[in-house]
Amino acid sequence: MNLDSHIRKADVFLEALPYIQNFRGQTFLIKVGGSAMEEQSLVESLLRDIVFLEAVGINPVLVHGGGKAINKAMKDAGLEAKFIAGMRVTDAETISIVEETLARVINPDLVKRIKFLGGRALGLAGTSVFQGKRMLATDPATGEEHDVGFVGEVVDCNTEVVELAVAGEVVPVVSPVAREVGSANTLNVNADIAACALAKKLKAHKLIFLSDVLGVMRDPKDNGTLIPTLNTDFVGQLKREGIISGGMIPKVDSALDALRGGVGKVHMIDGRIPHSVVLEIFTDKGIGTEIVL
Ligand SMILES: Nc1ncnc2c1ncn2[C@@H]1O[C@H](COP(=O)(O)OP(=O)(O)O)[C@@H](O)[C@H]1O
Ligand SMILES: CC(=O)N[C@@H](CCC(=O)OP(=O)(O)O)C(=O)O
């Protein structure tokens, strides 16, 4: 046995102590995008981080996306996926594919895997948590508004079951759909918007978006320079210039909305880096892009 290497391991482990002491009892809303769920070993590393957080007394709440899996299911059904400003154009056929993919494939799979890792988890359909109303998608360059069908924004969240789960040391795993206020319709909600609404309602200490990029980039196509900190004015400028586009638009908008709504901190990190959540939470420097007001 090499005693030195064991002691080094213990040192590394104990570096987390002040963070654990600081964050115990606080809620961390983690949004995992479909683009960070492509590689199974990375999903496992993320879920292991989440089980670890729960085990040390931090309260992780997971909101998942599934855009890529929905694209595939649409393709299998002979439908073409179309997005405007990061929002899926969602007709009646599409919303049933969205619901089916989230409720039957992605959500139960995440719950099962958390349990397999020794954690406890509760899968929740967003329709039992989010109340929504229809929204239009706004083109960031022209300001033009587009009808995108059964797509909603969140007007309120029913957090009773989520809070009961958290109190019982169970990780809530929530899908991004809402019940339309005043009807029985299901609305498709961009998962960043759903995560933001829930983080605000739960007064989360931190909201973390995991995606398939290092953070917000100056030249995303080139995997160019990472922007470590981004504020409201800079977000506006980068959106107008088209540097922030597509799926990054609802992410930055939700990040700012969450901060205005009282969420303590918002970070965008790279789900392709194993254990990125633990690295972000238990190190001083953190990784990815921090959004500030
Ligand atoms: N400035 C930018 N920096 C980083 N990514 C960007 C930027 N502008 C657009 N994107 C795109 O946003 C994508 C992330 O959004 P999205 O595909 O919806 O992911 P998720 O499934 O995680 O929500 C990136 O893969 C990238 O293609
Ligand atoms: C309205 C809208 O766009 N809804 C999203 C919901 C899933 C999602 O947001 O998934 P990601 O986090 O993987 O992008 C969609 O249909 O793709």
- Tell me if the domain spanning 26-291 has CATH number 3.40.1160.10: yes
Kindly report, residue by residue over 42-73, the tens digit of the pLDDT. Answer: 999 999 999 999 999 999 999 999 999 999 99
Q: What are phi and psi of 273, to 5 degrees?
A: -90, 120
CB 122 within 8 A of CB 142: no
Rg (CA), the chain: 19
Kindly report, residue by residue over 120-142, the tens digit of the pLDDT. Answer: 999 999 999 999 999 999 988 78
Helix (H, G, I), strand (E, B) or coil at 274: coil
CB 179 within 8 A of CB 124: no
**Residue range 151-168: mean pLDDT, rounded:** 98
The number of the ligand nearest the C-alpha atom of 148 reads 2
Boundaries of every domain in the chain: 26-291
Report the alpha-carbon distance of residue 107 to residue 98 in Å, rounded.
Answer: 12
Residue from 62, 101, 211 whose mutation best tests the ligand 1 pocket (most atoms within 8 A of CB):
211
> Could you tell me if the CB of 217 is within 6 A of ligand 1?
yes
> Looking at the predicted structure, is the pLDDT value of residue 11 above 90?
no
> Could you tell me if the CB of 247 is within 6 A of ligand 1?
yes
Binding residues for substrate are 66-67, 88, 188
Kindly report, residue by residue over 265-275, the tens digit of the pLDDT. Answer: 999 999 999 99
ipTM for this prediction:
0.98
**Residue range 170-185: mean pLDDT, rounded:** 97
